Structure 1
Amino acid sequence: MKSLFLSTVASLVFAAGASSMLAASSIDQHASDLLKGDCDRECMAFIVDQVLASMVVHNPYILPMAAIYQATENSHPAALGMMTAWRTVTEAGPPSLLAIDTTQGSAYFALDVSEGSDTERSILRGRVKVVNQEITELEVFINRYRGDHGFSFSAAELPSNYEALMSPPDNRTKASRAALTALSEALFATSSNMSVRVDANCQFTEIGWKVIDTGTYNNETTTPLSCSWPSDHPTDENARVGLVIDEKLGFVVTSGMIQGKVYPYQNVSAFIPDAMTSSQEAQNVWLNEVKARGVKGLLAPTEATGETLEVLQYYNDALQTMQINVYMSGPNMTSAWL
């Protein structure tokens, strides 16, 4: 994948200097071959590489866009030429996680990127949909720190955490497309009796980081939390299910709009969904305790909405990966994609 990405960057740098439109002369023969006929996994991977490389050269106009396309950046709609990513990203790719759905012509990607700083890297993630080798939908998010989502964050640990997910065991039992679809439909369902077995080594991350429970805020726990499939979970009756279903690697991507509150959390803050009532109640107890001690500088609990692109990986009849990827906006918001 890396050599393909590097050739894409080189091709697009040339294209950016030669023309504002993607032309056959702007890509090598191998790239041209990938964009002929049906878009298979290699073709979809190449298009994702094109998206990332176009950000590096700050030129979205060299992408193979459909005549009419839909696009959002951090939940708000805009033409690609007006998006921040194509102005700020200076280094990107290849993706650390890439899920590809050749049936729907869609893909999900996630990676750490530079916006001019080698020490403060951002996390870029997104979804692309392709019809006739042209991009018809592009949904991107840039999380720069945990304030963008109120969850744990680590651009530095993302590559190593995601590396194992891209190379599952060769002798695994793959889930059917129907099973992965059912998993997606149950994730944010208001009513579902689906039982999901969780593998003992299931990797649980929030925005690139393996989550460590700090408990009562003063312990020394360093063991990452495992995944869970709780009966009490955030729900969204309008969830966008099965956005990407990768039958080869077992990934499924689902989006939900989750209502919740941003609470003070030690000296920072955290987003807690309204469905997690016990967690909100525990945070209220803690808040009252620290207020009684005269602690100052605490954020007032504030209503918010978390827009998710949640990623699950399922094979060997068990959940292997759960990624909670959130971008926050104001209260009672809905998705531009509905």
Structure 2
Amino acid sequence: MKVNTGKGLAAFWAVMTLGSTHARSGDCDRSCLEALISDYLTALVAHDPSSLPTTPDVKYVENNQVLPLGTGEWLVAGSTGKYRHTFSDPESGQVGTITTITENGVGTIYIVRLQLDDDGRRISEIETQITRDADGAALYEKMGEPESVWLQAVTPEQRIPRATLISQTNKYYSGMERNDPNGNYSFFDTDCNRLEDAVQTTNIDTGDPYGHSNDTVFESLGCEAQFQTGFLGFVTKIRERRFPVVDEERQAVLAITTLDHNGTVRELPSANGTSQPIPAYFDVPRTLQAAEAFRLRGQGKLWRIEMTLTEVPYGMSSPFHEGAPVDVGGEGTEKTIDGPCGRACLEKELDRVLDALLAHHPATLPLAEGVRYSENGQFIPLGDGLWETLGDVAVPGVNDYAARFADPSTGTAAYWGLTREQTTPGVLALRIKVDRGQITEIEAIDVRAESTGARGGTMTLLRPPLPIEWEGNSLGKLDPAFQQNKTAGRMYRFSTNKLMHKYFDGMQRHSGRRVPFAPGCTRRDNGARGNLTCAAQMEGWGVAPNGLYRDTTVVRDRRVLVADAERGVVLAVAMVDGPAARELAPVPETERVPSTFMVPQLIKVGNGTIERVEGMVKWMPFGYTSAWGLEGRS
């Protein structure tokens, strides 16, 4: 349906058509930009992007995922809140706001940045961050409006230059990255205060622990004193620092950055001079996308900070990444594999990769120049991620939940089994590819335990619960069928592509009627198995205790990682979308927001039918696509 664009959009177009000068320059001043934000939010809750003046190729991004405009949040946004903190930058033609909306009736913090095209007439970029913190949204609504100091205009002669606003803001990130207690933090104003999801986290003595930690003193300190503790050193890298909206009139900057926590920092210094073990949440590599506003005064001192963040897959780059392309190829070694690499050779090289991961030393491997490594669908440098945190791996033939698979015809081998990073267990699906005597590809999918323990446990930040969570409890023994050869001394051949096509189509249709399941086929997801057969589960996803959500739609980016013909096993992965668009209430918590599920799974095949399925389910932001899948589209 069309919405009444009202005075806001009319004001926008009025500015565009005031005269030939404005029409040529495309000037859009503060009132014009603020009206555009208002109209955007009106269109969002009306589920009608067609009412907006957008370029034909407008780029729409939601929590780092590029989506078609009108999908994702456009299907579930319910109403706008009263809190709205807007930053206007007429010089760059950009505007951003920190505000609140509801998703299927539940409050959330919503950040949106709009970029106008070169003519200043149409929206060419829409970047959004959704921080699903209902408590934070409620606090914002209670505040009603930003602190008055944010909204005060500064006379031109008293303003800090644009370049200085940016450079001083950047010092905040340089100081936080591997936070050195001996650093120079004089860029903070003595009266600096910071809000995190509407909660004041400086100069306030509540006695509450800060974040995931047990430190009850940190929040009582000022901005500079907090940095001088070195407490924030668990932030190991802050990259893709962007300062897209510089509000010179109000001396404010809206910055968007990517924070990496690589899992190697094992202790936090406390404000009282002691140290404490790192919280379990930081056992494993994490990446957080942060939107932060800064108000400066005086000689460029940071006076007020307002921030919110959300978690994205580790190592993920922003679709608005600036600068040189991310290098996804690693350096090779002079080591090579002697002779042809059959099953025994592939399994040996697979074990060598696992050993190298445990030793945190990839250079011991026969690596091809340009070797690529991915973790949960993201290309990252070889040596990063699991290479720094993996501490234990279940051994096939020794441990109950571990197996190897190989396909000599494609030079691929795979591992499936239990792992441990620091104190956090996981299930690892690992694929390697060998070509011409060297390893050319290493792909890791690690489904880590999501527990709700002390200080937030290991739960992925601000995601909805799954129908069945794996909290690290025992998975028992991997079904022996996955490790048995089909016929002694004879290879078993099967049409992998045709069979997987039918299987994934059945998942998408929520119907097992055309899927060749064996009569006694059983399935487990995240270690849970119901009393239904594979076909019956597929008919009623969400009804079976270990099924996916009942409102999932597309099963895409379907990939066979390894097809082991001798054992009749396929290791496959797919992305399953749950858009969560609902017309009726109430909406279950697990289905309230758009989600994508990365589902690695072992599939046992016998006589052309599927006999067993062992799957793990990993939550991802809606629209997530593996870098391997994106590569296949190019």
TM-score by length of 2: 0.40
- Of residues 139, 148, 152 in structure 2, which corresponds to 1:157? 139
Q: Partner residue of 1:74?
A: 63
Matches within 5 A, 1:172-321: 173-189=158-174, 196-211=186-201, 214-215=208-209, 226-228=222-224, 230=227, 234=235, 236=237, 238-260=239-261, 278=269, 282-284=275-277, 301-317=283-299, 318-321=301-304
| Corresponding letter in the other structure for 2:296 | Y
3-state DSSP of counterpart to 1:51:
helix
| Corresponding letter in the other structure for 2:146 | Y
3-state DSSP of counterpart to 2:70:
helix
| Corresponding letter in the other structure for 1:311 | A
Q: Partner residue of 1:294?
A: none
Shift in CA distance, 47/173, structure 1 to aligned 2, threshold 3 Å: same
Residues 311, 322 of structure 1: 8 Å contact kept:
yes
Shift in CA distance, 75/201, structure 1 to aligned 2, threshold 3 Å: same
- Per-residue deviation, residues 151-207 of structure 1 (Å, max 9, x unmatched): xx6112225272324333868943221210212343334799875443343220112
- Distance in 2, Cα, partners of 1:88 & 1:69: 21
Shift in CA distance, 94/157, structure 1 to aligned 2, threshold 3 Å: closer
3-state DSSP of counterpart to 2:168:
helix
3-state DSSP of counterpart to 2:78:
coil
Q: Partner residue of 2:122?
A: 134
- Distance in 2, Cα, partners of 1:306 & 1:40: 32
- Of residues 164, 168, 176 in structure 1, which corresponds to 2:152? 168
3-state DSSP of counterpart to 2:124:
strand
Cα distance, 1:46 vs. partner?
Answer: 1.1
Shift in CA distance, 105/236, structure 1 to aligned 2, threshold 3 Å: farther
Cα distance, 1:236 vs. partner?
Answer: 4.8
Shift in CA distance, 327/28, structure 1 to aligned 2, threshold 3 Å: closer
Residues 8, 39 of structure 2: 8 Å contact kept:
no
| Corresponding letter in the other structure for 2:227 | P
Matches within 5 A, 1:46-125: 46-83=35-72, 85-92=73-80, 96-117=84-105, 120-125=106-111
| Corresponding letter in the other structure for 1:100 | S
Single out whichever of 160-169 and 95-104 deviates more from structure 2.
160-169
Cα distance, 1:220 vs. partner?
Answer: 8.4
Shift in CA distance, 136/222, structure 1 to aligned 2, threshold 3 Å: same
3-state DSSP of counterpart to 2:136:
coil
3-state DSSP of counterpart to 2:3:
helix
Residues 15, 32 of structure 2: 8 Å contact kept:
yes
Shift in CA distance, 236/332, structure 1 to aligned 2, threshold 3 Å: same
Cα distance, 1:39 vs. partner?
Answer: 0.8
- Per-residue deviation, residues 122-144 of structure 1 (Å, max 9, x unmatched): 11112111122211111111112
Residues 260, 287 of structure 2: 8 Å contact kept:
yes
Residues 35, 43 of structure 1: 8 Å contact kept:
no
Q: Which runs of 5+ in 1 are unaligned?
A: 1-11, 16-24, 147-152, 263-272, 288-297
3-state DSSP of counterpart to 1:204:
strand
| Corresponding letter in the other structure for 1:227 | C
Q: Partner residue of 2:405?
A: none
CA-atom RMSD, angstroms?
3.9
- Distance in 1, Cα, partners of 2:298 & 2:195: 20
Shift in CA distance, 337/29, structure 1 to aligned 2, threshold 3 Å: closer
Cα distance, 1:304 vs. partner?
Answer: 1.1
- The aligned length equals 288
Cα distance, 1:256 vs. partner?
Answer: 2.2
- Distance in 2, Cα, partners of 1:218 & 1:75: 30
3-state DSSP of counterpart to 2:98:
strand
Cα distance, 1:31 vs. partner?
Answer: 4.6
Residues 152, 250 of structure 2: 8 Å contact kept:
yes
Higher relative contact order (CA 8 A, sep 6+): 1
Cα distance, 1:92 vs. partner?
Answer: 1.3
Residues 52, 93 of structure 1: 8 Å contact kept:
no
Q: Partner residue of 2:14?
A: 33
3-state DSSP of counterpart to 1:256:
strand
| Corresponding letter in the other structure for 2:310 | Y
- Per-residue deviation, residues 300-319 of structure 1 (Å, max 9, x unmatched): 83321011122211012322
Larger radius of gyration: 2
